[in-house]
Chains A and B, each alone.
Chain A
Amino acid sequence: MKLITAIIKPYKIDEVKEALQAFGIAGMTVSEASGFGRQRGHTEVYRGAEYKIDLIPKLRLEVIVDDKDASAVIDTIVKAANSGSIGDGKVWSIPVEEIVRVRTGERGPDAI
């Protein structure tokens, strides 16, 4: 099993969510995040005083999938989250040792 984590532009969440639902994934977790990459931050001006905002808002999307689906899911996220401009984010995956569905106690791929 793999944990796929994606950092995306907040306004892209609906497209990504719909694309993943169409792919057939069963669930996902989304949280607010902030940070910077090559896009860096931006500048705001209040009463003439410049404020450099380094950390800009992003969404972090996490989904656990079976090994065989991992690559296709990553492709799906990348395709849906791509706006072509700088700051579109990153997607990565890491191996997952164990997963348990809390209600039933199912373990492994059955719990995904």
Chain B
Amino acid sequence: MGINAGDTAWIIVAAALVLFMTPGLAFFYGGMVRSKNVLGMLAQNYVTMGVVSVLWILFVYSIAFSGKGRFIGDLHQFGLAHISEPPTGLALTIPPIVFVSFQLMFAIITPALITGGVADRMKFISWILFAALWLVLVYAPIAHWVFSPSGWIAKRGVEDFAGGIVVEANSGISTLALVLVLGRRRGWPQERMRPHNLPLVLVGAGILWFGWFGFNAGSTLAANTLSAFAFINTNTAAATGLLGWLLVERYRDGKPTTLGAASGAIAGMVAITPACGFVSPVGSIFIGLIAGMLCAFAVNLKHKYKFDDALDVVAVHFVGGVIGMILLGFLGTRVINGKNGLFYGGGFHLLWVQVSSLIIASLYAFTVTLAIAYFLKKTIGLRVTDEQEYQGMDLTFHGETAYESPGGMGR
């Protein structure tokens, strides 16, 4: 197939949109931590953009997308050599280097999602090494399994349009593994740790919503009708996710909150991520709504089981990703794209492929992340000292303070 200028232009822009999600995520998370840790959170996200960008072009792209292996790619495109050759099995209408760039942005935000779980207590250098090892040992294989047509999960016929397994469930379950090894924040859950800047959280959520159009509607790797369906499905699920979370808060807690609105929109978009290119806009209403409501309940799991997933990465990204993957097995429709799910007369086959693929990939991610976390804990250590934790990440690792100490009264 030849190169299509329209497709190419859209995917370059979409790649930029997806990159912008990581700063958005940094603000979304940064506003939720205490003010002494906001720069630490921003730094972990930004440094992930640095580390992954370099590793990706050096060799991680190659092991994710080059070659015919069922379980892992090869080093044929080390350093982006032979980059005129398209990724195995994909008939692209964009230059392969555009595909490299677009996929790079996914590889940045996926480890960055994990920073929300480990907030306020992980050493900066340990985060950098974790992100690098996790990218190579967890992200690259799973991206290969699902996104590369030669991958074994892709060959099973799984439907994962933009990363319900690769990005959402993967980062969510890996967060659980890492926080179990890392341990709780000092004082959690007795001590209250309120979000220090909710407007920043809402700014971040807005950027994520905006960037997610590139993430999902770019995953067609073309500019066409399917991209437009992915686009409207993304927006629809964000909308109903937001409304669903607010509904739960209104009736459970008494008041609908801004944090709930932001969280619900994210939960809706997480769930629609695997499904956006396979379901109808009406299907998206249900996927977003169910994700928004169930994730609003899932945030209680960490209190019940006492794991300190600080900013609810498990409850939003793992639970949301699972909801999206499973509902796609019900709501997938050939009218849009792909196979029919259970509700469209496709039987249980798609549902089974979705669920089983999800379980296997999640088990892999959980196990290997656990191993990486233990390795780092035994070598360089994962955690800050108690005194550093009390002082905050900002001063401890960056020698900076985010805000002036409160001064005038404004009168």
B378 CB within 8 Å of chain A = no
State whether A51 and B257 are in contact (beta carbons under 8 Å apart), knowing that A30-B409, A30-B411, A32-B409 are contacts in the complex: no
Taking the closest CB of chain B, its distance from the CB of A6, in whole angstroms, is 15
Nearest CB in chain A: distance from B228 CB, A: 33
Is A48 in contact with chain B by the CB < 8 A criterion?
Answer: yes
* B259 in the interface (beta carbon within 8 A): yes
Say yes or no: is B260 at the interface (Cβ < 8 Å to chain A): yes
Q: Which of A13, A46, A59 contacts B259 (CB 8 A)?
A: A46
Q: State whether the Cβ of B349 lies closer than 8 Å to any Cβ in chain A.
A: no
Whether B257 pairs with A13 at a CB distance below 8 angstroms is no
Q: Does A45 lie at the interface of the complex (its beta carbon under 8 Å from any beta carbon of B)?
A: yes
Using known A-B contacts A13-B411, A45-B255, determine if residue A51 contacts B312 with beta carbons closer than 8 Å: no
A46 to B31, CA, bound (A): 13
List the one stretch of B80-88, B211-219, B295-303 in contact with chain A.
Answer: B295-303
The answer, yes or no, to whether B334 is at the interface (CB within 8 Å) is no
User: What 0/1 pattern do residues 275 to 297 of B give for CB contact below 8 A with A?
Assistant: 00000000000000000000011
A13-B411, A30-B411, A32-B409 known; A45 vs B253 contact (CB < 8 Å): yes
Q: Decide if A52 touches B192 in the complex (CB within 8 Å).
A: yes
B-facing residues in A2-37 (Cβ within 8 Å): 13-14, 30, 32
Please, which residue of chain A has its CB at the minimum distance from the CB of B302? A49
B406 in contact with A51 (CB, 8 Å):
no
Residue of B nearest to A47 (CB): B299
Known: A46-B195, A51-B192. A32 touches B406 (CB 8 A): yes
Asked if B263 contacts A47 (CB within 8 A), the reply is yes
**A30 vs B411: C-alpha distance when bound (angstroms):** 10
Size bin of chain B's contact surface: 20 to 34
Select one of B194, B249, B409 contacting A51, CB under 8 A.
Answer: B194
Q: Which of B249, B252, B406, B409 has the most CB of A within 10 A?
A: B409
Closest to B192 in A: A51
Q: Which of A44, A45, A48, A49 has the most CB of B within 10 A?
A: A48
* Among candidates A13, A48, A59, residue contacting B296 with C-beta atoms closer than 8 Å: A48
Interface size on A, residues (CB 8 A): 14
Question: How far is the CB of A43 from the nearest CB of chain B, in Å?
Answer: 9
B2 within 8 A of partner (CB): no
Interface centre among A32, A47, A49 (most CB of B within 10 A): A47
B205 → A minimal CB distance (Å): 13
- Known interface pairs A32-B406, A51-B194, A52-B192. Does A45 touch B257 (Cβ–Cβ under 8 Å)? yes
Q: Does B254 contact A (CB under 8 A)?
A: yes
B260 touches A47 (CB 8 A): yes
CB-defined contacts of B406 to chain A, threshold 8 Å: 32
Residues of chain A within 8 A of B300, CB atoms compared: 48
B411 touches A48 (CB 8 A): no
Residue of B nearest to A49 (CB): B303
For residue A52, which residues in chain B have a CB less than 8 angstroms away from its CB?
Answer: 192
**CB of B245, distance to nearest CB on chain A (Å):** 9
Most buried by A among B253, B254, B260: B253
Q: Are B409 and A47 in contact (CB under 8 A)?
A: no
- Which residues in B have their C-beta under 8 angstroms from that of A30? 409, 411
**How far is A59 from B263 in the complex, measured between Cα atoms in Å?**
34
B249: chain A residues at CB < 8 Å are 45, 48
Bound: A74/B150 CA distance, A: 82
What is the 8 Å Cβ interface bit string for chain A, positions 75-107, against chain B (1 contact, 0 not)? 000000000000000000000000000000000
Contacts of A13 in B (CB 8 A): 411
A44 touches B194 (CB 8 A): yes
* CB neighbours of A45 from chain B (8 A): 249, 253-255, 257
* Residues of chain A lying within 8 A (CB to CB) of residue B195: 46
Q: Mark A47-82, 1 if CB is under 8 A from B, else 0.
A: 111011100000100000000000000000000000
8 A Cβ contacts from B283-329 to A: 296-297, 299-300, 303, 312
**Smallest Cβ-Cβ distance to B408: which chain A residue:** A32
Q: Which of chain B's residues 252-275 have a Cβ closer than 8 Å to chain A?
A: 252-255, 257, 259-260, 263
A14 to B252, CA, bound (A): 38
Q: How far is the CA of A53 from the CA of B191 in the complex (A)?
A: 11
Distance of A15 Cα from B187 Cα, bound (Å): 41
Query: Once bound together, how far apart are the Cα atoms of A65 and B259, in whole Å?
Result: 47
Other A-B contacts than A30-B409, A44-B194, 8 sampled, CB-CB below 8 A, are: A13-B411, A45-B254, A45-B255, A46-B257, A48-B252, A48-B253, A48-B297, A49-B303
List 16 interface pairs A-B (beta carbons < 8 Å), by A numbering: A13-B411, A14-B411, A30-B411, A45-B255, A46-B194, A47-B259, A47-B296, A48-B253, A48-B297, A48-B299, A49-B189, A49-B299, A51-B192, A51-B194, A52-B192, A53-B192
- Give the 3 A-B residue pairs with the shortest CB-CB distance, closest first: A51-B192, A45-B253, A47-B299
